[in-house]
Amino acid sequence: MSATLAAPAAVGFSRIFGPRKSVNKPPEETDAKRVQFNSRLLPYLFLAPQMAIIFVFFYWPSVQAIHSSFYLEDPFGFGSTFVGLANYTDVLKSGEYLGIARFTAVFTALVTFFSLAIGLLLAVKADGVIRGNATYKTLLIWVYAIAPPVAGLMGMMMFDQHIGPLVRFAAFFGWDLKVGLDYTDTAFAMIVVSVWKQIPYNFIFFLSGLQGIPVSVREAALMDCRSGFRRFWTVILPLLAPTAFFLLIINTTYALFDTFGVIDVMVKDKAANNPITLVYKVYMDGFRGNDLGGSSAQSVILMIIVFVLTIFQFRFIERRVHYN
């Protein structure tokens, strides 16, 4: 979700669990201040609003999703029948679904790779120059604040058949770019727009990671090694690894979920011969196709994917805390 920030995985392991040594203790001990208030009622009163919202808008729908994934809903709304795992097997056997899953995987990999690579390149260069440093920084983070569907709209404009400069540019190389009509071309445009939207986020994190590297380390590296590229490869990059892995997870979540707006605007309801991702398929089946059971089964499959990603992230960050 989230314009990225509030991505579910955005809160790191150490943040939630405290330092590693105390992981096995119950949270209230790690949380504990030496002195605390004693009140029977007040803590519940303070927690009540948050808990109420979580129950109604998180637990209820989540349980509902799991529940309806085992049922077949009558299209006219006359009750539903228990069908066991049929919804899941239907989904997983469908060639269309598997095709979308494959596209989602490729899309996610490409968006993650390019937005990380370009973000890193720009951060390294912005960290290196002294003159104009602040200006570059300001200009490069603008796009963070733009909503994915607005980014999609900008993309549609750049790739428009009549007025799009990128279409003309491609035609210059003999590439007849037809976004919205040709599967590959649409996929290409979606990837470009999604990368564009995500670069500032990676740039911000890489830059703050770079600026966190102590001057002494840089100076020592400068004395030992004259080649700038080798210095970057052997000293700077390993120090950035924790940031990079954190961003890897965030970017994966972004490509899977937050790109919904980009895709929705760019396929314009004509999903038939256009590439879509798994999240978009959940939406299509649930709201356009009225297939409650199938859509719910897909939701649960996605939940499992996110769950695995999050656990993976926590395990990784646990290791990182250990390094420090």
Partner 1 sequence: MHRTKLFDHVILMMGVFFMVGPLLVALMTSSHEAADIHRNGLQILPGGHFIDTYTTVLTKQGGFTGKITGLRMMMNSLILGIGFAAGKIILSMLAAYALVYFRFRFATITFWMIFTTLLLPLEVRILPSYEVMNTLKLTNTYTGLIVPLLASATGTFYFRQFFKSIPDELLEAARIDGAGPFKFFIDVIVPLSKTMIAAIFIIMFVYGWNQYLWPTLMTTDESFFTLVRGIKQILLVWVGSNIPDYNEAFALAILAMVPPVMIVMIFQRWFIKGLTESDK
Footprint on residues 135-174 left by partner 1 (CB under 8 A): 136-150, 152-154, 156-158, 162-165
In the region spanning residues 49 to 88, those forming contacts with partner 1, defined by CB under 8 A, are: 49-51, 53-54, 56-62, 64-65, 68
In the 8-state DSSP scheme, what is residue 68?
H
d(CA 80, CA 289): 17
Site track 258-277 with partner 1 (rule: CB under 8 A), x = hit? --xx--xx--x---------
**Kindly report the CA angle at 159 between 172 and 156, in degrees rounded to 5?**
175
* Residue number, 83 or 141, with CB nearest to partner 1: 141
Residue 242 tokens read as 């924790």
Smallest gap, in angstroms, from Cβ of residue 135 to partner 1? 9
Q: Is 62 or 81 the residue whose CB approaches partner 1 more closely?
A: 62
* Residue 259, CA atoms < 13 Å, CB-side half-sphere: 34
Q: Is 271 within 8 Å of 280 (Cβ atoms)?
A: yes
Spatial contact of 159 and 151, defined as CB atoms under 8 Å apart: no
- Residues 269, 195, 190, CA angle at the centre, nearest 5°? 25
Nearer to partner 1, 39 or 184 (CB): 39
CA atoms of 110 and 175, how far apart (whole Å) = 21
Q: Cβ closer to partner 1: 42 or 237?
A: 42
Q: Which of residues 86-105 bind partner 1 (CB under 8 A)?
A: none
Using CB under 8 A, pick the residue from 5, 220, 222, 241 that binds partner 1: 5
Q: How far is the CB of 315 from partner 1 (least distance, A)?
A: 14
The answer to whether residue 204 forms part of the interface with partner 1 (CB under 8 A) is yes
**Nearer CB in complex with partner 1: 9/72:** 9
DSSP 259-287: THHHHHHHHTT--TTS---HHHHHHIIII
Does position 225 interact with partner 1 (CB under 8 A)? The reply is no
Integer-rounded Cα radius of gyration of the chain:
24
Among 129, 215, 223, 272, binds partner 1 (CB under 8 A): 129
Total residues binding partner 1 (CB under 8 A): 109
